């Protein structure tokens, strides 16, 4: 039976770590203030924060749609079903983008009551306009053809079609390992085993540019895989980023130092997170005022919680 708890369970993920480093006030809203905000009986601040937490940007919506459709396509490969054409995937992406735009502009009342089930775009919500920035629309439109074409031409897609030497493991599944009793969440886009080479392949699809964080993310995935499947050597794991914008892929051969680095990262990060707790045993946070706000206006401009941090002055 689902149990309503006053405070969430303390856990760790790379996205949570990045949020804490970017803005501790946003960290508070994301992981504490919005807790239970999906419940009708929750207080107004929790419900408001939860609603704002569900706002997404055009780029994030695009990335999410592409990941979902890739997952569905790979499942069709797995089940030997007819695969979509490139044109069909393009139409699907456009359809979902248009639906997100319509929900943001014409169904705000539905999103207000069920923010998990409807889309609200940051660009619409905070501009109070029914149009999207022209530059952003052109940017996403320009990426559409490239992303679909490069997916079908990707090393990974070619690999998974060779079923004689490929064994699916898991895709888009929430997994976790534990360190000092704390769950460390790992969400891998795709894992399969190349039986011909006896290699485990971890794939991460990217609809944006490469980042310095990519290696840390994949190191965490490798650490999870080593523990979960008792793989004898790190040499048996191939880490691959598929960059769908430019059609390139990068494979990393990690070493023990990579694993040590990512373990140090989450251990130090967890200690920082615990500094924001009034009661570590309950994961009860400090008062909101003790989570400092970000002072960089450009970061605040992209944040979902602008109206909580900078409420309008009724006297203006």
CATH code of the domain containing 248: 3.40.1350
- Is 140 among the domain residues? yes
Asked whether residue 60 falls in the same domain as residue 127, the answer is yes
- Structural contact between residues 69 and 85, judged by C-beta atoms closer than 8 angstroms: no
- Who has greater pLDDT, 211 or 148? 148
Q: What phi-psi label fits residue 246: left (phi over 0), alpha (psi between -120 and 50 degrees) or beta?
A: alpha
The percent of residues in the chain predicted with pLDDT above 70, rounded, is: 97
pLDDT tens digits for range 86-139: 999 999 999 999 999 999 999 999 999 999 999 999 999 999 889 999 999 999
What does the alpha-carbon distance between residue 265 and residue 142 come to, in Å, rounded to a whole number?
A: 36
- Structural contact between residues 259 and 222, judged by C-beta atoms closer than 8 angstroms: yes
Asked whether residue 58 falls in the same domain as residue 162, the answer is no
Asked whether residue 103 falls in the same domain as residue 237, the answer is no
As a whole number of Å, the end-to-end CA separation of the chain is 49
Burial 247-257 (b: 16+ CB within 10 A, else e): eebeebebeee
pLDDT value of residue 100: 97
- Structural contact between residues 24 and 291, judged by C-beta atoms closer than 8 angstroms: yes
What does the alpha-carbon distance between residue 198 and residue 232 come to, in Å, rounded to a whole number?
A: 12
Distances (CA, A) of 299 to 120, 208, 293: 19, 18, 11
- Is 263 among the domain residues? no
List the domain range (segments joined by +) for residue 51: 11-154+293-308
pLDDT value of residue 161: 87
Whether residue 46 is predicted with pLDDT greater than 80 in this model: the reply is yes
- Is 285 among the domain residues? no
pLDDT value of residue 170: 63
Question: Dihedral angle at the C-alpha atoms of 89, 92, 97, 100, nearest 10 degrees?
Answer: -150
- Is 146 among the domain residues? yes
Whether residue 164 is predicted with pLDDT greater than 80 in this model: the reply is no
Whether residue 314 is predicted with pLDDT greater than 50 in this model: the reply is no
- Is 21 among the domain residues? yes
- Name the domain count of the chain: 2
- Is 286 among the domain residues? no
The percent of residues in the chain predicted with pLDDT above 90, rounded, is: 73
pLDDT value of residue 171: 56
Asked whether residue 49 falls in the same domain as residue 128, the answer is yes
Whether residue 313 is predicted with pLDDT greater than 50 in this model: the reply is no
Asked whether residue 41 falls in the same domain as residue 131, the answer is yes
- Is 148 among the domain residues? yes
Asked whether residue 86 falls in the same domain as residue 211, the answer is no
pLDDT tens digits for range 260-304: 999 999 999 999 999 999 999 999 999 999 999 999 999 999 999
DSSP structure class, residue 232: S
Asked whether residue 58 falls in the same domain as residue 129, the answer is yes
- Is 270 among the domain residues? no
pLDDT tens digits for range 194-222: 888 888 999 999 998 877 777 788 899 99
């Amino acid at each position: 039976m689902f149990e309503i708890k006053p405070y969430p369970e303390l856990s760790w993920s790379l996205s949570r770590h990045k949020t804490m480093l970017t803005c501790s006030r946003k960290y508070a809203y994301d992981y504490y203030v919005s807790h239970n905000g999906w419940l009708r009986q929750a207080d107004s601040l929790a419900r408001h924060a939860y609603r704002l937490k569900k706002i997404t940007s055009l780029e994030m919506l695009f990335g999410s749609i592409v990941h979902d459709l890739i997952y569905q396509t790979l499942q069709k490969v797995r089940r030997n079903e007819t695969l979509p054409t490139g044109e069909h995937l393009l139409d699907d992406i456009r359809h979902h983008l248009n639906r997100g735009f319509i929900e943001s502009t014409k169904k705000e009342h539905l999103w207000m009551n069920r923010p998990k089930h409807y889309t609200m775009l940051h660009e619409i919500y905070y501009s109070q306009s029914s149009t999207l920035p022209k530059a952003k629309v052109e940017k996403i439109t320009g990426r559409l053809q490239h992303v679909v074409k490069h997916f079908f031409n990707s090393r990974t897609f070619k690999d998974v079609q060779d079923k004689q030497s490929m064994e699916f493991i898991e895709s888009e599944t929430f997994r976790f390992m534990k360190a000092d009793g704390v769950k460390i969440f790992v969400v891998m886009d795709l894992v399969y085993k190349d039986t011909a080479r006896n290699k485990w392949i971890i794939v991460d699809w990217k609809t944006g540019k490469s980042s310095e964080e990519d290696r840390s993310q994949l190191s965490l995935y490798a650490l999870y895989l080593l523990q979960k499947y008792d793989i004898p050597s790190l040499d048996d794991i191939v880490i691959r980023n598929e960059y769908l914008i430019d059609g390139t892929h990068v494979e990393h051969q990690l070493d023990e130092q990579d694993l040590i680095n990512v373990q140090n990262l989450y251990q130090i990060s967890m200690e920082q997170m615990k500094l924001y707790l009034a009661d570590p045993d309950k994961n009860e946070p400090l008062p909101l005022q003790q989570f400092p706000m970000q002072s960089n206006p450009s970061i605040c401009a992209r944040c979902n919680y602008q109206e909580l941090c900078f409420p309008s002055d009724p006297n203006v």
